[in-house]
Chain A
Amino acid sequence: MTAPLLQMRGIGKSFPGVRALSDVSLELFPGEVLVLVGENGAGKSTLMKILAGAIPADQGEISIDGTPVHFHSPQDAQRRGVGMIYQEFTLVPQLFAPANIALGAEPAAGPFIDAAAVRERAKRTLDELGVDIPLDVPVAQLSVGQQQLVEIAKVLARNARIIVMDEPTAALSEREIERLFTIIGRLRSSGAGIIYISHRMEELSRIADRIMVLRDGRVVEARAAADFSSDEIVRAMVGRRLEAHFPELPPVPRDAKLRLEVHDLVRAPAINGVSFGVHAGEIVALAGLVGAGRTEIVRAVAGADRPERGDVRVDGRALRSASIGAAIAAGVAFITEDRKAQGLVLGMSVRENVTLAHLGDFVDRDLLIDVARERSATTRMIDELHIRTPSTEQLARNLSGGTQQKVVLAKWLLGQAGVFLFDEPTRGIDVGAKAEIYKIMVELAARGGAIVMVSSDLPEALGMAHRVLVVRGGRIAAEFSRAEATPDRVIAVATGAAA
């Protein structure tokens, strides 16, 4: 057996009031993919931040190639060959890919940056990865998948041999995921060690050599992937037996009325004539690749972007204007994809976030906000949705991802909405919180709500919807009933392999 590339022994870390990690040990061998799983708050990010030199450990030691190391800063860790690829990218959007790859370590020609060498190095690194991406445009113009490749090239250009990837497939299309897995395979055969954090069960068996499960800051299991079934993994993660992954969908009543009608929606270049309807009690999934126009469609329906043409009717009535205000007034709730950027004001409390879209209902004599009423409404929502927060006054920033998503939901459930647009409702949240959000969606449908769900997680789209609409090139390329929708069919249409 070869010597381990990385050893972390007895790592412990406490934050005020929380024991984040206790006695965590980890070994990573050259050419190995170690998958780290665990619910949000299990300690994965803390452990990786310690490895990256971003925060110090309270106890324990780290050695690389058998030599003990002490990281005082991320630069220390980088010098020792640790490369992190975070979920939120660390690229400078205006710079081109070569400049991003060289950032902080630019080859110099005298006092100046050697632009040719910068470009040369970027090209060489990307060639090694076997990928081809445009080098002469700002990275902001690249797709999410391409930006991630730039991130990977960036750590490789710094000679990283221990590469940490945090939920790398969360924002990728099926095709981009395939490419990423190919690249991971290549990195592995070059002798690098990879620590891969993921919530997606179906990925694990494909790429993991070993799987390590963290729960409440401790290692509960670490085994070769081959002898670890996904049921066992989930059980180890949550520490309790989960019922079936997706809740049962009650059938749509045959006489259900159309609550949402979208007719010939156009907003070039992303939306090119989209029509569909959703009945009361129905969940419709918009499936497709990233960039197919799914998010753009729900944004236009929600009034967040103005369409060039087409109309949206809610309960038979056309929206009075293409604005968010009009959509909310008509009963449309838009639960956005990115809770941090669009869903929440992180510096505000749970209460202030929950009431933000319906503050008018909490105002006395048209003037002053009645905080007591806000508080009781928020408390009701906390109980109803099982929001794990110490109080209504906790800042949204201090909550875990799954809890934040529930706060966003609470914001929209507070009103009298009948049409719910969910954009990637469970991205980046743990298995337990996912199940709860599915339950809430089913309940909304059971109460007569019409639900549109954009999801890149194919099992989710198939498991949670009465109907699946496959979007490609800003059009609805196919429609499948729940019985007809199989992964192969949907992927075939989404990728253009079938019409």
Chain B
Amino acid sequence: MNQPDRRREWLRIAGAAAVVIVLIALVDAATHGSFLQPSNIVRVLRQITYNCVLGVGQTFVIITGGIDLSVGSLVALTGVVAALFANALHLGGFPLIAATLVVAVAVGALAGWINALPVVKLNLPPFITTLAMLEMALGASFILAHGRPVALRTTDFQNTGIGSFLGGVTRALHLPSIPVPVIWMVVVIVAASVLLTRTRFGRYVFAIGGNEEAARLAGINVGRVKTLVYVISGACAAIVGFLYMALFSSGSPQTGTGDELLESIAAVVVGGTSLTGGRGSIVGTFFGALLIGVLYNAMNLLNVDSYLQKVLLGAVILLAVVLDELRKRYLAR
């Protein structure tokens, strides 16, 4: 990046940070200081974990110019499969947790591979193939679960779902405990971010989204890269399915089938990833999820009516993408 560009980039970040700080200060004042309580901050992070991890997987897909509508149903399917599997296994402790996670991720990845197959081989639009997967996975999870949540027989997953990380240390320092799922989110974000920005695969994801034909003519195996992004998205959905199962001590065919899909896509888009492909970042998706999470939290603290919350959330999403577009136009001049 040359000097003026870099300076402009810093100005932009500083400007955005200033706005956020002022907003936070206002909300904090309005809630008499409870907004910035460490325990409240941790609460927000825990709440955004699930949509953020879904959004991370979705980010890969969207940068290639695709979309994955099946992630919500895959959360349900992988949660149910994980619960059934854990109940059937005569294992305990870490081996049980690890084996269950592996099975859940394998199911999610397989579903992602099936999503990609017609996209890659027949050039069908991913909107359709993943919509079909949405229905199939949802139906399959109800069939497998016989229509009701599959309760876990063991309590081995409790720490994964609701436990805290290094609880002794945080207690000694008088800090709020850090929930284990938040650690999962951090690990997923870091791994995905390195994958997207530092590896060949990541570079190819951007190249395909930017100009698929140029990528193909540069010798890139476009089909393989595209398949992998749907596999990653499926795997991320499986991690969320697994974490929800651990949280609720059961795998339910209804988990993940509410607002998760659209809110995770909103996090990606608010985070600056272009729906037309070629541009985006994992860190952006995290901040997108954070913005949505903070907004809900602030509205709850301010006792905003829950229906009105939806209206305001939609307005903020629209405002965020409009501002981003205006900024791009300003920079492009």
Q: Which A positions have Cβ atoms within 8 angstroms of B?
A: 15-16, 302, 304, 324-325, 327-328, 334, 336, 341-348, 352, 356-357, 359-360, 363, 367-369, 390-391, 393-394, 411
Docked-complex contact B211 and A325, CB < 8 angstroms: no
Complexed CA–CA distance, A433 and B131 (Å): 49
Chain A-chain B contacts (Cβ-Cβ < 8 Å), number = 79
Docked-complex contact B203 and A411, CB < 8 angstroms: no
Residue B219 lies at the interface, judged by CB distance under 8 Å to chain A: yes
A357-B203 contact, Cβ under 8 Å, with A341-B211, A341-B213, A345-B214 = no
6 closest A-B pairs by CB: A345-B210, A357-B218, A328-B219, A391-B2, A345-B211, A347-B210
Cβ contact of B214, chosen from A328, A342, A367, A393, cutoff 8 A? A342
Interface centre among A356, A367, A391 (most CB of B within 10 A): A356
Residue B244 lies at the interface, judged by CB distance under 8 Å to chain A: no
Docked-complex contact A347 and B279, CB < 8 angstroms: yes
Docked-complex contact A325 and B2, CB < 8 angstroms: no
Complexed CA–CA distance, A411 and B198 (Å): 20
Contacts of A343 in B (CB 8 A): 214, 217
- CB contacts under 8 Å to A, within B193-228, are 194, 198-200, 203-204, 206-207, 210-211, 213-221
Docked-complex contact B199 and A367, CB < 8 angstroms: yes
Docked-complex contact B217 and A344, CB < 8 angstroms: no
Docked-complex contact B207 and A368, CB < 8 angstroms: no
Complexed CA–CA distance, A391 and B213 (Å): 25
B332 CB to nearest chain A CB (Å)? 9
Docked-complex contact B333 and A393, CB < 8 angstroms: no
* Chain B residue at minimal CB-CB distance from A415: B219
Docked-complex contact B219 and A357, CB < 8 angstroms: yes
Docked-complex contact B217 and A342, CB < 8 angstroms: yes
Docked-complex contact A345 and B199, CB < 8 angstroms: no
Residue B173 lies at the interface, judged by CB distance under 8 Å to chain A: no
Docked-complex contact B2 and A304, CB < 8 angstroms: no
Docked-complex contact A344 and B219, CB < 8 angstroms: no
Residue B66 lies at the interface, judged by CB distance under 8 Å to chain A: no
A263 CB to nearest chain B CB (Å)? 23
B89 CB to nearest chain A CB (Å)? 34
Contacts of B194 in A (CB 8 A): 368
Residue B305 lies at the interface, judged by CB distance under 8 Å to chain A: no
Docked-complex contact A324 and B219, CB < 8 angstroms: yes
Docked-complex contact A359 and B210, CB < 8 angstroms: no
Docked-complex contact A359 and B203, CB < 8 angstroms: yes
Cβ contact of B333, chosen from A15, A346, A352, cutoff 8 A? A15
Complexed CA–CA distance, A342 and B330 (Å): 28
Docked-complex contact A304 and B217, CB < 8 angstroms: yes
Docked-complex contact A356 and B203, CB < 8 angstroms: yes
Docked-complex contact B278 and A345, CB < 8 angstroms: yes
Residue B19 lies at the interface, judged by CB distance under 8 Å to chain A: no
Contacts of B2 in A (CB 8 A): 390-391, 393-394
- CB contacts under 8 Å to A, within B261-310, are 278-279
* Chain A residue at minimal CB-CB distance from B220: A356
Docked-complex contact B206 and A348, CB < 8 angstroms: yes
Complexed CA–CA distance, A37 and B214 (Å): 30
B154 CB to nearest chain A CB (Å)? 37
* Chain B residue at minimal CB-CB distance from A303: B219
Docked-complex contact B211 and A346, CB < 8 angstroms: yes
Interface centre among B2, B200, B215 (most CB of A within 10 A): B200
- CB contacts under 8 Å to A, within B25-81, are none
Residue B259 lies at the interface, judged by CB distance under 8 Å to chain A: no
Q: Which B positions have Cβ atoms within 8 angstroms of A?
A: 1-2, 5, 194, 198-200, 203-204, 206-207, 210-211, 213-221, 278-279, 333
* Chain A residue at minimal CB-CB distance from B330: A16
Docked-complex contact B217 and A369, CB < 8 angstroms: no
Complexed CA–CA distance, A13 and B134 (Å): 53
Contacts of B204 in A (CB 8 A): 359
Complexed CA–CA distance, A280 and B199 (Å): 36
Interface centre among B199, B203, B221, B278 (most CB of A within 10 A): B203
Interface centre among A324, A344, A347, A368 (most CB of B within 10 A): A347
Complexed CA–CA distance, A348 and B204 (Å): 11
Complexed CA–CA distance, A455 and B231 (Å): 43
B241 CB to nearest chain A CB (Å)? 28
Query: Can you identify 30 A-B contacts, CB atoms within 8 angstroms?
Result: A16-B333, A304-B216, A304-B217, A328-B219, A334-B217, A336-B214, A341-B211, A341-B213, A342-B211, A342-B213, A342-B217, A344-B214, A345-B207, A345-B210, A345-B215, A345-B278, A347-B206, A347-B210, A348-B206, A356-B214, A357-B218, A357-B219, A359-B200, A359-B203, A360-B200, A363-B200, A367-B198, A368-B199, A391-B2, A393-B1
A368-B219 contact, Cβ under 8 Å, with A342-B213, A359-B203, A393-B5 = no
Contacts of A391 in B (CB 8 A): 1-2
Cβ contact of A347, chosen from B217, B219, B220, B278, cutoff 8 A? B278
Complexed CA–CA distance, A369 and B210 (Å): 19
Interface centre among A304, A334, A359, A393 (most CB of B within 10 A): A359
A324-B216 contact, Cβ under 8 Å, with A344-B211, A346-B210, A393-B5 = yes
Complexed CA–CA distance, A367 and B200 (Å): 8
Contacts of B211 in A (CB 8 A): 341-342, 344-347
Complexed CA–CA distance, A357 and B218 (Å): 5
Complexed CA–CA distance, A391 and B220 (Å): 25
Complexed CA–CA distance, A328 and B217 (Å): 9
Contacts of B5 in A (CB 8 A): 393
12 extra interchain contacts, Cβ-Cβ under 8 A, other than A345-B207, A348-B206, A359-B200? A302-B217, A324-B216, A342-B211, A344-B211, A345-B206, A345-B210, A348-B207, A352-B207, A356-B203, A356-B220, A369-B199, A390-B2
Docked-complex contact B1 and A325, CB < 8 angstroms: no
* Chain A residue at minimal CB-CB distance from B197: A369
Docked-complex contact B333 and A348, CB < 8 angstroms: no
B210 CB to nearest chain A CB (Å)? 4
Contacts of B216 in A (CB 8 A): 304, 324
B275 CB to nearest chain A CB (Å)? 14
Contacts of B210 in A (CB 8 A): 345-348
B269 CB to nearest chain A CB (Å)? 17
B333 CB to nearest chain A CB (Å)? 6
* Chain B residue at minimal CB-CB distance from A326: B219
Contacts of B199 in A (CB 8 A): 363, 367-369
Contacts of B198 in A (CB 8 A): 367-369
Contacts of B200 in A (CB 8 A): 359-360, 363, 369
Complexed CA–CA distance, A343 and B216 (Å): 10
A356-B207 contact, Cβ under 8 Å, with A342-B213, A345-B278 = yes
Contacts of A324 in B (CB 8 A): 216-219
B228 CB to nearest chain A CB (Å)? 15
Interface centre among B199, B204, B211, B215 (most CB of A within 10 A): B211
Complexed CA–CA distance, A325 and B214 (Å): 13
A135 CB to nearest chain B CB (Å)? 30
B198 CB to nearest chain A CB (Å)? 5
Complexed CA–CA distance, A334 and B206 (Å): 21
Complexed CA–CA distance, A325 and B204 (Å): 14
Contacts of A359 in B (CB 8 A): 200, 203-204
Complexed CA–CA distance, A363 and B201 (Å): 11
* Chain A residue at minimal CB-CB distance from B208: A345
